[in-house]
Amino acid sequence: MTDSPGRKLSYVQAFTEAVRLEMADDPTVICAGEDIGFFGGVFQSYAGLQTEFGVDRVVDTPISEQAIVGLGLGAAVNGMRPIVDIMFMDFMAVALDQIINQAAKIKYMFGGAATVPLTITTGGGAGMSAAAQHSQSLEALLCHIPGLKVVYPSNPLDMKGLMASCIRDDNPTVMVKHKRLLGMKAEVPEERYYTPLGEARVIRPGNDVTVVAWGKMTNDALAAADTLARDGIECEVIDPRTLQPFDIGTVVESVRRTNRAVVVHEAVRFGGLGGEIASQIQENAFDYLDAPVARLGAPFSPVPFSPDLEAAYIPSQERIVEEVRSVMARPLLGG
């Protein structure tokens, strides 16, 4: 992958470019979803693609999430590489039978003889006052299902590479785009490139505490790390990028050096992915821990509509700072 100095794309533009490049290279790549054609999608994720590739490859569908995923699944098992869009992550609940009982199971039930190169894209996360039915973070539910891969980029560079890898993967993948990151800009190479699924990235090295976060929380964790650095606390921030399969090896290697860990996610804390990650850290790095693994997530409540309540609901940079300081202040385990 080469550098392209000065060339910046937004998070959503990086997504669109990944799709465009794969469609141009492979006629079996098609797209389907509500309003993705002429309108380009509710978040403009598919802007311009129908004009470039035609109505047969960028298909506007009826308002039926189960039908959209079913269309993609049927196309995938018949040799296509479909990308199907579910506007909001909340709406995936309508299509869970197709996703959980069909797409995730077919390869296993056919003894590996069938492939399902289906990519499901969706918008996740809160912070837009979109209320309880348009703001959820449901990645833990999806990560619990064997057969699915779940991807959650935190920046435009990873968005382009991860989306390209999702399209080329022969298994069903779910690409979650955080709605509050759509306008985030960064330098992104023009050429095609592939960011491997299942590989985390250390995006800020540090020696005092490991912070694991994904999606928008990655950027909040980086900002919190800058604040903490002024007090002499150096955070090592890890972006998993892919949540299923999860790269626990990179996390454990970090914790064995820093001896402390904080896991941050926007989803509800109870039953969240942070609990699984904390458990795996404890299983693989217990002897290295100087304090219990901390978890920071949303309260056990639907996402509020009120901007003030929503802001209090979502973990913030300030709360990450407080959590890290609390972990650093804990007495040594066994001390």
Q: Which residues are known to be catalytic?
A: 65, 134
Q: Cβ-count burial of 233 within 10 angstroms (0-12 exposed, 13-18 middle, 19+ buried)?
A: buried
Q: Are 88 and 123 in contact (CB under 8 A)?
A: yes
Can you tell me the distance from the alpha carbon of 119 to that of 212, in angstroms, rounded to the nearest whole number?
25
Can you tell me the distance from the alpha carbon of 169 to that of 77, in angstroms, rounded to the nearest whole number?
13
Q: Cβ-count burial of 146 within 10 angstroms (0-12 exposed, 13-18 middle, 19+ buried)?
A: exposed
Can you tell me the distance from the alpha carbon of 129 to that of 293, in angstroms, rounded to the nearest whole number?
31
Can you tell me the distance from the alpha carbon of 230 to that of 111, in angstroms, rounded to the nearest whole number?
55
CA distances, 288 to each of 235, 282, 332 (Å): 17, 9, 11
Residue type, 238: I
Scan for tokens 């990944």, then name that residue. 18
Can you tell me the distance from the alpha carbon of 18 to that of 15, in angstroms, rounded to the nearest whole number?
5
> Residue 58 forms beta bridges with which residues?
31
**DSSP calls for 102-143:** IITTHHHHTTT------EEEEEE---SS--TTS----HHHHH
- Cβ-based neighbour number of residue 301 at 10 Å: 10
- Straight-line distance from the first to the last Cα atom of the chain, in angstroms, rounded to the nearest whole number: 48
Comparing C-alpha atoms, which of 185, 178, 195 is closest to residue 156? 185
